[in-house]
C-alpha cells in the first residue's frame, strides 16, 4: 500500500525472556529477538473507532474508491461493533458510483517503534475480482520511516503477500522463513519503494476465501532491531500463550517470513513511528494493473466490473476481534 501520515494505558505482563530459535529448511539456525513483552495497547470493539482515524483523501494507490469519514461510514452502514467485533465493509448497493466505491481506511492514532502486533481476525475481504485489502503499518514521510504490509492481496488471490517498503539502502534476506515463502526482490526500495521487498507465500488458510471459510485466524508480526518476522495461526491452531495474553515468540517455530536485518539493512534506520492501518480499495496500481485471467472475462476493465457489480462486494469486509500491541 501507500502511506498516510499520523496513548493508551500501559498494562504490563511479566513474561520470561526467551532466546527464540527457529530452524529453516536448510537446517541452520536464525536467532530472533528475545521475546519478553508487556501489553502496550488493546484495540477491540469497545475502543477501536475512538483510537483510529479515518482517512478521507484521494487514494495514493489510485484505486476506484471513495474513502469515507467516520460519520459517513456509520450512516452508510459500513462500520459497526456488533457482537463484540469490529466490522469495516464497503458499499455493495450503488451501481457505477461516480467517485469510486465507498470504503474505509483507518489508521491508529498511536505510532509505534518496535513491538509484537497480534491481530485476531474473523473475516477479511474475500478473493474477489477488483478487491485490494490490506493490514499494514506505515510511518510518516513515506518511505522514510518504512512500511510493513502483513496482510495483502488482490483479485482472486488465495495466499498472502508480505512486503516491506523503505528508503534507499535496505537490502533484506529471508533466511529462517518457512518453506514455500519466496522472496521476489531483496531491495526494499525497489520501484522507488512502490514495489519494495516482498515475499509470496503458500501458507494455507491465510488469505481471502480460504481464510474466511476456516473461521479466520491470528497474524503476529514481531518488529525489533534484529528484523521483522510474521507468523500466521489458523483459528483451530492459535497458541495458548496468545490466547492467554502472554505471547512468547520462541514457542511458535519458524515464522512464515523472517525479514532479517544486519549488514544489508539496519532496521532501526529504516522503520520507526508507524501507525497501524486497515483498508480496502479497488483496482488501482496493483489490482487494476494485473486485471486478467479469470477476472478479464468478467469485464473489459477492473473499474468497469467494480462499478457495475456492487453485489459482488458484499463479502469484502473486515471482521476483527482485536488487535493487541506488546512491547519490551
Neighbours of 9 (CB within 10 A): 8
Q: Which of 91, 107, 136, 75 is nearest to 282 (CA)?
A: 91
Are β-strands 101-103 and 65-67 bridged in parallel, bridged antiparallel, or unpaired? parallel
State how far the Cα of 42 lies from the Cα of 181, in Å rounded to an integer: 30
Identify whether 143 is preceded by a cis peptide bond (ω within 30 of 0).
yes
State how far the Cα of 72 lies from the Cα of 110, in Å rounded to an integer: 23
Q: Is 147 an active-site residue? A: yes
Neighbours of 133 (CB within 10 A): 28
State how far the Cα of 68 lies from the Cα of 58, in Å rounded to an integer: 11
Q: Is 274 an active-site residue? A: no
Contacts of 57 by beta carbon, 8 Å cutoff, 6+ apart: 4, 67
For 323, phi then psi, to 5°, come to -125, 125
The residue count of the chain comes to: 328
Would you list the DSSP string of 13-33?
--------EEE-TTS-EEEPP
Beta bridge partners of 220: 118, 231
Looking from the CA of 51 toward its CB, the CA atoms found within 13 Å total 19
Q: Which of 31, 152, 224, 274 is catalytic?
A: 152
State how far the Cα of 141 lies from the Cα of 36, in Å rounded to an integer: 31
Helices and strands in the chain: count of H runs, count of E runs? 6, 20
State how far the Cα of 284 lies from the Cα of 79, in Å rounded to an integer: 23
Residues designated catalytic: 147, 152
Amino acid at each position: 500500500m501507500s502511506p498516510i501520515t499520523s496513548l493508551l494505558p500501559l498494562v504490563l505482563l511479566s513474561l520470561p525472556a526467551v532466546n527464540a530459535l527457529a530452524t529453516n529448511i536448510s537446517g541452520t539456525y536464525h536467532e530472533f529477538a528475545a521475546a519478553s513483552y508487556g501489553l502496550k495497547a488493546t484495540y477491540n470493539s469497545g475502543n477501536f473507532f475512538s483510537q483510529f482515524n479515518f482517512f478521507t483523501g484521494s487514494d495514493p494507490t489510485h484505486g476506484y474508491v471513495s474513502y469515507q469519514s467516520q460519520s459517513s461510514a456509520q450512516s452508510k452502514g459500513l462500520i459497526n461493533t456488533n457482537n463484540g467485533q469490529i466490522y469495516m465493509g464497503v458499499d455493495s448497493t450503488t451501481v457505477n458510483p461516480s467517485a469510486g466505491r465507498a470504503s474505509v481506511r483507518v489508521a491508529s492514532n498511536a505510532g509505534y517503534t518496535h513491538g509484537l502486533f497480534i491481530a485476531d481476525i474473523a473475516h477479511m475481504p474475500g478473493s474477489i475480482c477488483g478487491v485490494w485489502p490490506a493490514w499494514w503499518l506505515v510511518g510518516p514521510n513515506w518511505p522514510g520511516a518504512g512500511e510493513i504490509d502483513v496482510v495483502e492481496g488482490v483479485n482472486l488471490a488465495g495466499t498472502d503477500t508480505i512486503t516491506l517498503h523503505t528508503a534507499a539502502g535496505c537490502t533484506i534476506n529471508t533466511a529462517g522463513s518457512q518453506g514455500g515463502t519466496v522472496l521476489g526482490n531483496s531491495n526494499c526500495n525497489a520501484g522507488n519503494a512502490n514495489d519494495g521487498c516482498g515475499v509470496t507465500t503458500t501458507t494455507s488458510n491465510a488469505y481471502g476465501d480460504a481464510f474466511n471459510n476456516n473461521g479466520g485466524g491470528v497474524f503476529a508480526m514481531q518488529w525489533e532491531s534484529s528484523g521483522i518476522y510474521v507468523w500466521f495461526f489458523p483459528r483451530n491452531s492459535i497458541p495458548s500463550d496468545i490466547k492467554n495474553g502472554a505471547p512468547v515468540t520462541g514457542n511458535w517455530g519458524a515464522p512464515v517470513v523472517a525479514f532479517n536485518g544486519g549488514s544489508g539493512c539496519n532496521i532501526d534506520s529504516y522503520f520507526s513511528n508507524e501507525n497501524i492501518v486497515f483498508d480496502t480499495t479497488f483496482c488501482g496500481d496493483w489490482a487494476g494493473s494485473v486485471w486478467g485471467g479469470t477476472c478479464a472475462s468478467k469485464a473489459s476493465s477492473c473499474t468497469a466490473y467494480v462499478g457495475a457489480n456492487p453485489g459482488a462486494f458484499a463479502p469484502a469486509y473486515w471482521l476483527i476481534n482485536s488487535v493487541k500491541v506488546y512491547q519490551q
